[in-house]
Amino acid sequence: MDISGNTIFIPGATSGIGLELARAFAARGNTVIVGGRRTELLDRIAAENPGIHTVRIDTADPDSIADASRAVLADHPDLNVLVTMAGIMRSEDWTAPSGFLATAEATVTTNLLGPIRLIAAFIEHLRSRPDATIMTVSSGLAFAPLRVTPTYNATKAAIHMLSESLRLQLVDSTVKVLELEPPAVRTALMPGQETSDFAMPLDDFVSEVIGLVESQSEATEIQVENVKFLRYGEARGDYAQVVATLNGRDPHAR
């Protein structure tokens, strides 16, 4: 993916990683469209970031995705990059259905069905462009599980394999598939994460991502250094220690 000269749609980008990536991409000479559910927040983003466009979209609602895709393509026919950013992360207790079922269903709808529906809404247009990219967003937790977020872990693992599979299907097309794999980043994704010493500062994360996109234009996965501990535990042979460390446990305990 080239670092500049694109028209990029980032749904689910009204805060956190999505918004900071939108600002960084805009600063690099891209046309950026931010999507989100709250119109008042979109209006504020547009006012505070001249040059960034906005559109209302609820990625958990297929009708909203269809409406937003039509609006984006009508106003930005040069669109060539889709970033499937929207996602939720919730703690769950799987010892009883009341502790997880509703949250699990909502997480699957947003984190897995959302990207699938977004890709379905834009794939024909992207295939018509001479150079296009679908940027999926998985997680370090696609490769090592956090105990309290089973469904989040599972949906991100699914996004990883979806990215791998989609790349195979699109190999002879003009569409590249680029998977962004964040570690824990200081955002409001989970309570306490914005101030966590374990999480990576948001500015540092986005700066490193932009640098990797710029220096690795043919990459299939964007991995900041902080995520490699999780990403490659199995390959290194220390997966059990990675899982124990991630979950705050003694890896030698029985």
Q: What digits encode the pLDDT tens for the residues 125-180?
A: 999 999 999 999 999 999 999 999 999 999 999 999 999 999 999 999 999 999 99
- Asked if 119 and 76 count as a contact pair (C-beta separation under 8 A), the reply is no
Helix axes 150-169, 101-108, angle to 10 degrees: 20
d(CA 3, CA 68): 25
Q: Which fold has domain 7-246?
A: Rossmann fold (3.40.50)
d(CA 142, CA 182): 10
Predicted local distance difference test score (pLDDT) of residue 86:
84
Predicted local distance difference test score (pLDDT) of residue 224:
98
Does the pLDDT of residue 222 top 60, yes or no? yes
Does the pLDDT of residue 253 top 90, yes or no? no
Q: Of these residues, 152, 155, 159, 163, which one is catalytic?
A: 152
- Locate the domains of the chain by residue range: 7-246
Does 232 participate in catalysis according to the annotation?
no
d(CA 57, CA 84): 12
Interval 195-213 mean pLDDT: 96
Predicted local distance difference test score (pLDDT) of residue 156:
98
- Asked if 133 and 81 count as a contact pair (C-beta separation under 8 A), the reply is yes
79 C-beta neighbours (distance < 10 Å), count: 21
Interval 198-215 mean pLDDT: 97
pLDDT digits (tens, 9 = 90+) for 177-188: 999 999 999 999
Query: What Å distances lie between residue 73 and 46, 66, 120, 127, 223, CA to CA?
Result: 19, 11, 14, 13, 30
- What are the start-end ranges of the H helices in the chain? 16-27, 39-48, 62-75, 101-108, 114-128, 150-169, 202-215, 228-231, 233-236, 239-246
> Furthest-apart CA pair in the chain: how many Å?
59
User: What percentage of residues in the chain have a pLDDT greater than 90?
Assistant: 96
Q: Exposed, middle or buried: residue 207 (CB in 10 Å: 0-12, 13-18, 19+)?
A: middle
Question: What is the separation of C-alpha 80 from the centre of its chain, rounded to a whole number of angstroms?
Answer: 17
Q: How confident is the model at residue 249 (pLDDT cuts 50, 70, 90)?
A: confident
Predicted local distance difference test score (pLDDT) of residue 254:
40
Q: How confident is the model at residue 251 (pLDDT cuts 50, 70, 90)?
A: low
Does the pLDDT of residue 11 top 80, yes or no? yes
| Average pLDDT along the chain | 96
Does the pLDDT of residue 250 top 60, yes or no? no
Interval 16-37 mean pLDDT: 97
- Asked if 62 and 36 count as a contact pair (C-beta separation under 8 A), the reply is no
